[in-house]
Amino acid sequence: MLEKFEIGGREVGGNAPLLFIAEAGVSHFGDMDLAEQLVDLAADAGADVFKTQFFDVDMLFAKSASAWRDRLRPRNLTFDQARALKDRCDRRGILFMSTAHDESRLRWLADLDVPAIKVGSGERNNTGFLEKLARLGKPMIVSTGMYREADVVEAVEACRRGGCERVALLHCVTSYPAPAADINLRAMDRMRQIFPGPVGYSDHTEDHLAVHAAAARGAKIIEKHITILRNVPNAQDWKVSAGPEDLAKLVADLRRVEALLGSGRKEPAASEAAGQDWALKALVARRNLPAGHVVEEADIVAKRPSRGIPPNRIAEVIGKRLPAALAADDPLPEALIG
């Protein structure tokens, strides 16, 4: 598996900026006007990806799940509607992606030429389906809600058998909303130990704290549900979604978190240049010292500012003769260690 790869011309993984996926899911409720508003919400907020979901309820649910069939049937999109959403994303400069929840929608992903395949957590142990998705020849982003470690390994191997080496894994908790005690962001660390590709986080919490924490923990991809409507009966995604009131701030805050992470090298920052002058110390005369005086430890002290010999070089000045007299608090001449 590759450590980093491109999605829609954008590098993912390594030191690349995190990819933010605005997951609209079925929050359009089958209403194209609402779906287009969701595209605009994601684009205006600065998200990298707008994502929805494709399914045929009769292919996705058995007859015994008639309540789920009835619940989701009105939230289906037609292929023409899906293409219209992709076209709107293209015009708005945001990538379009979708999750295909059943085999009837694999062709849709191919025909729409999506830049990557997003796999929902519900495909745990569905290795045959994962292989078929992998054969589409696109990068894959696999959510791992409800997965054990062995399931993660199994899913990655299925993607590889299908010919896909460009795989990213998202830690996820499939609960709406997911309680804080269950989020377990340290699982991302373990996933990195067993998997070389990009690791990220798909969020189902009520606020944004876990998203910020995941970014600070080095998530390479963040997925957050979005919505415009609230308090919708017989629906759950709105409970864990960002909306017009906070999505733009969420994306901006994540970019700030990324900036806070920095390069990882321990070295002075550019903004510390002035601070190094006033905050650090240099060796100065403790009292008036005559020219030719042989310096003893009792003759010197470390004080601010740092203009002169640093305190960690004190051993190099002990026993040296002063070339000129020093008044109290004068810095020791750097010629002593030259």
Is the pLDDT reported for residue 317 higher than 90? yes
pLDDT reading at 234 higher than 90 = no
How confident is the model over 250-309, as pLDDT tens digits? 999 999 999 999 999 999 999 999 999 999 999 999 999 999 999 999 999 999 999 999
CB-based burial of residue 6 (10 Å sphere; 0-12 exposed, 13-18 middle, 19+ buried)? middle
In whole angstroms, give the CA distance from residue 42 to residue 247: 8
pLDDT band of 95, cuts 50, 70, 90: very high
Interval 22-44: pLDDT, tens: 999 999 999 999 999 999 999 99
Give the model confidence (pLDDT) of 143-176 as tens digits: 999 999 999 999 999 999 999 999 999 999 999 9
pLDDT of residue 338: 79
Query: How far, in Å, are 138, 142, 169, 278 from residue 6 at the CA level?
Result: 10, 16, 15, 45
Per cent of the chain over pLDDT 70 is 100
Residues 322, 293: contact at Cβ < 8 Å? yes
Q: What is the mean pLDDT of the chain?
A: 97
- Set out the domains of the chain in order of their start, with CATH numbers: 8-261 (3.20.20.70), 272-337 (3.90.1210.10)
**177-206 per-position pLDDT tens digit:** 999 999 999 999 999 999 999 999 999 999
